[in-house]
Structure 1
């Protein structure tokens, strides 16, 4: 038993695998989105930063990456809706007041955009938490699409 004791102690001191965390890496985020059955096309934002393009149930959205030195500290899911008529500001305000996730704002022509931010600074977030955030985004898009009758 004594010869096994140092081995058992060493096994208990081993850190959990680093791959369990989701860091601000566009390739890792794209891979997790693909694991969830979504497409994830790499592209570049208007500001020159990394960006992913995807869609859920016919709604196109972007994933923006922020503070990418070296890994990105945050990501943002964002979808815009081109409506025939401008969305009333009161309708956007009601959504923002009544919903915890999915911030809505209107562009110059009254078309709504909905965003959801995820912080990844430091050591990132767990894979399960990221999957949960992605599922939350899926629900937010579905509910918002119904909300605006799109």
Structure 2
């Protein structure tokens, strides 16, 4: 899973630094000689401060251009195709073997303040509205509905206007990929 790969790579980079800060006996749950009762707390606070500093180092975005979205897709190793239709740019994606689209919305002067992921499913026997409503009751971070033709669709939105780090955009894509696979199974799509 992409999120776990990112977390694993960050932990891999931090491991030597954290090992230098905390002796092996401390990492094993033993207090090193000369450390008082507050040693563990102080060490944990120091580690959290270090990790917080790394997370704050990410650039916060309140809007994205199509080029910036494309760069994020590349950095996350997503399969995509850039499409320009009547002056609008969107991306066709392959997420977990399923097709989806990433739309850039609320755009002004080439910068867009929100993103929307969409996947539609054409089915001979679509799920009932009750099944779709059950998805919405039981799952977070996406919404499902039956479109005008009665076919199921899944969507998710990300508002950038308040500011998000690039990692949040990549997490948005990863989370939708997970939801998409679960939704396809939920509706019996093959």
Distance 1:48 1:89, change over 3 A: farther
Partner of 1:9: none
For 1:107 and 1:129, the matched residues in 2 are separated by 28
**Is 1:101–1:116's contact at 8 Å kept on the other side of the alignment?**
yes
Residue segments in structure 1 that go unaligned for 5+ positions in a row: 1-15
TM-score (normalised: structure 1): 0.78
- Cα distance, 1:35 vs. partner? 1.7
Query: Which residue, 79, 88, 96 being the options, matches 1:57?
Result: 96
**Is 2:91–2:102's contact at 8 Å kept on the other side of the alignment?**
yes
> How many corresponding residue pairs?
132
Query: Which residue, 50, 67, 72 being the options, matches 2:106?
Result: 67
TM-score (normalised: structure 2): 0.63
Secondary structure of 2:113's counterpart equals strand
Partner of 2:182: 143
Partner of 2:49: none
- Cα distance, 1:48 vs. partner? 4.8
Partner of 1:28: 68
For 1:34 and 1:62, the matched residues in 2 are separated by 15
After TM superposition, the runs of 4+ consecutive aligned structure 1 residues lying more than 4 A away are none
For 2:60 and 2:181, the matched residues in 1 are separated by 27
Residue segments in structure 2 that go unaligned for 5+ positions in a row: 1-55
Structure 1 residues 92-103: aligned runs within 5 Å: 92-103=132-143
TM-align CA RMSD: 2.0
Deviates more, 1:30-39 or 1:111-120: 30-39
In our comparison, the structure showing a higher alpha carbon Rg is 2
**Is 1:41–1:53's contact at 8 Å kept on the other side of the alignment?**
yes
Secondary structure of 2:136's counterpart equals helix
**Is 2:126–2:187's contact at 8 Å kept on the other side of the alignment?**
no
Secondary structure of 1:40's counterpart equals strand
